[in-house]
Structure 1
């Protein structure tokens, strides 16, 4: 059931999360938790009057190819161990998906503790991160910029903050983001509160314009770059030069970057880099018609696309006619039409919001093509990562 916001429910929610996530402090006095709680809807299952299972839903907007689409971030999924395996979380998830559909929120994202479990609810892997690990020797050829300057500071430094926001907003207006959270002020401030030990470095060119930024932290002699964004080659090289200036005091460097990052091409010795790709977030399409209408097909024409399985959101099942002419994309439900492509909602999520191409999905047997038509979509990218 959806929970009312009152002191008794808050106390029970905090106690459950503290136990399930091994928190050693009172969350009701934790400003970071309370900020997220205040911007959330909570769903819980009670055994008599005791809260035994809980899920938090935060509402955002996401950038999907130039469309500002409402998105739900699901987190703090928790049950007391003695109540697990009774189907409580399944009941809550079903209620949440129905409520989000009624509220016209077409997409939900979450960070899974078990991919297998969340696939049962229709979620699929959609966002990946590329991790680079290397020693300081790999940075030896990079130098601080001779032109322009790097300003380092905290989030409350307005020069630094404005530089980051300008760059962040610039990328969101490229219409190339496929599943990227639009960060509101409260979320930016929460990130700063949660990672209060993080530093920010912004490179400004000779004209004083921000060209790149780096959000990072230094923990146990490891330089951890959590977010790097640049709009020019010089901006990227300047950030690497800034990192290289730490070689004398730092032994290990770790950078978390978007999946499509080609940063390794700038290093003279790529074999000094340990590069790994990690699944990060899963997505769930709640309103297939809405999400499909946001896509950018590579081919013009009319295509009949079938969702042949979705046991959690049955309104998605059926044939949807996608038309793309003169860059105008439309989608509507059709009856008794010949199907061009067919597959379950989990695979369509990977194609529309993830990295899977139609061609690959067909080759893997995840999508059935009945009429041998050619269709694929602009894949876009996820430039910024947010954890719920």
Structure 2
């Protein structure tokens, strides 16, 4: 029988990285990697990451994964969400339950420690659906000609951030900005690392936009990319205080037309570049399958969910085969946009669904009319009320892991 637990020693973590290297076919200098791991804080609370492993009876590590701890936005609340990465196993020991065992132990540990959601980027959606995950965000990648934003006004002062000056202002603006979305990560300081550092070495360019009083109104982080001979400024992150600040960002990007032909990337979901440019025909858009999410604690997620303004109630029958603690029939009583109570009940349900269906409904992944078409979801009664209970919302997973 396999021993499933969190990794404790440096040697265990190094072994896990070796397994990851084999699984993802990525070369790693193990001496440098061991030194990097040695310098990380031991406390997952301090650094925000745990490593899990599956050990064979002889003590050999045969599989591992990483569980990043994030605080994300959900319907105006701040909740804990795990970001799962580096799921990997030794090829000679696959299909023996190692990954399933890690997810089983980890999800229960998450429930005990207050996590509400979990998220990952799958190699196969079918595979991770076995563990209760479902396709959530479907990011829209957009590209437009830099010169097509030249008509937009920029009435803010613009400076390039060369070191970390103004970082606290960026973090504060980001937190305020991201709360309009679901799934957006409210980054702790070390979770900004992929955007920060010397712009001349890392080619991560950051520009700050301030008003006459020196108050930060917007920022944009981008990096140079080239594909098929086309030079692009790919936006990695951005935040802005309002429409004028958004215009300032893209007006500034138009000044870079001598360096880059196009600007874009996976932008916040309420930005449609076709409405900002002079020639919409030149905007290219492509929607893709993004990450998968799942609810870890159904009762908590339902209690935090926004609700219709007018008083009412709904009965939901939920099936979670992988985490049966979530399975059951829930009565939701609500009024004035908030949940009054979420309780277990034996009443006849209005809607029957799987944990995968419920995750998408609660997060607002798509319109309820679309989500109700799921083969594993049945609306039994009170359809109009359910349509009001589960509106489509804006999702923006802004953190790679």
TM-score by structure 2 length? 0.86
Distance in 1, matches of 2:304 and 2:334, equals 11
Structure showing greater relative contact order (alpha-carbon pairs closer than 8 Å, 6 or more residues apart): 1
C-alpha deviation, 1:350, in angstroms: 0.8
Query: 2:307 & 2:192 partners in 1: Cα distance?
Result: 33
For 1:177, the equivalent position in structure 2 comes to 181
Give the equivalent residue in structure 2 for 1:151: 159
**1:201 lines up with 2:220 in the alignment:** no
The question of whether the paired residues in 2 share the 8 Å contact of 1:258 and 1:384 is answered with: no
Task: Kindly report which structure 2 residues correspond to 1:43-192, keeping only aligned pairs within 5 A, or say none.
Answer: 43-47=52-56, 48-139=58-149, 141-142=150-151, 145=154, 147-154=155-162, 156-159=163-166, 161-172=167-178, 174=179, 176-189=180-193, 191-192=195-196
The 1-side partners of 2:324 and 2:334 are apart by 26
- Taking the aligned partners of 2:259 and 2:337, their CA distance within structure 1 comes to 53
Pick aligned residue for 2:18 from 15, 20, 24: 15
State the partner residue of 2:259.
249
Cα displacement (A) at 1:32: 11
Give the deviation of 1:199 after TM superposition. Answer: 1.1
Picking from 5, 8, 20, the partner of 2:8 is 5
Distance 1:24 1:4, change over 3 A: closer
Does the residue aligned with 1:186 lie in a helix, a strand or coil?
helix
> Aligned match of 1:302 in 309, 313, 325?
313
> Counterpart in 1 of 2:216?
210
Q: Give the length in aligned residue pairs.
A: 381
Q: In structure 2, what is the Cα distance between the partners aligned to 1:364 and 1:119?
A: 14
Give the drift of 1:287: 0.8
2: CA distance, partners of 1:33 / 1:199: 27
Mapping for residues 342-353 of structure 1, pairs under 5 Å? 342-353=352-363
Query: How far is 1:275 from its partner?
Result: 0.4
Answering whether residue 386 of structure 2 is matched by residue 377 of structure 1, we say no
**Partners of 1:255 and 1:6 in 2: how far apart?**
39
Of the structure 1 ranges 356-365 and 234-243, higher mean CA displacement relative to structure 2 is found in 356-365
Instruction: Describe the shift of the 1:59–1:10 C-alpha distance in structure 2 as closer, same or farther (beyond 3 A).
Output: same
Distance in 1 separating the partners of 2:303 and 2:283: 40
Q: Please name the residue that 2:237 is paired with.
A: 227
Query: Deviation above 4 Å: which 4+ runs of structure 1?
Result: 31-38, 363-366
**Which residue does 1:281 correspond to in 2?**
291
Cα pair 1:296 1:378 within 8 Å, conserved: no
- Cα distance in 1, alignment partners of residues 104 and 157 from structure 2: 52
The secondary structure found in structure 2 opposite 1:339 is coil
Structure 2: 5+ residue stretches without partners: none
Show CA shifts across 1:133-177 (max 9, x none).
2344544x34672x33111124x3323x234223212224x5x33
Whole-angstrom CA distance in 2 between matches of 1:383 and 1:344:
23
**CA positional deviation for 1:283:** 0.8
SS of corresponding position for 1:293: helix
Distance of aligned partners of 1:262 and 1:216 in 2 relative to their CA distance in 1, 3 Å threshold: same
Cα distance in structure 2, aligned partners of 1:239 and 1:120: 42
Provide closer, same or farther for how the CA distance between residues 224 and 33 of structure 1 changes in structure 2, counting only shifts above 3 A.
farther
For the structure 1 residues 82 and 321, does the alpha-carbon distance in structure 2 shift closer, same or farther, using more than 3 Å as the test? Answer: same
8 Å contact kept, 1:17–1:76: yes
Q: Distance in 2 between matches of 1:163 and 1:262?
A: 26
Give, in whole Å, the separation in 1 of the partners of 2:198 and 2:54.
Answer: 28
RMSD: 2.6
* Structure 2 Cα separation of the partners of residues 250 and 33 of structure 1: 38
Describe the superposition over 1:274-303 as per-residue Cα deviations: whole angstroms up to 9, x where unpaired.
101123221111111110111112253011
Alpha carbons 1:318, 1:333 under 8 Å: kept: no
Residues 1:367 and 2:377 aligned together: yes
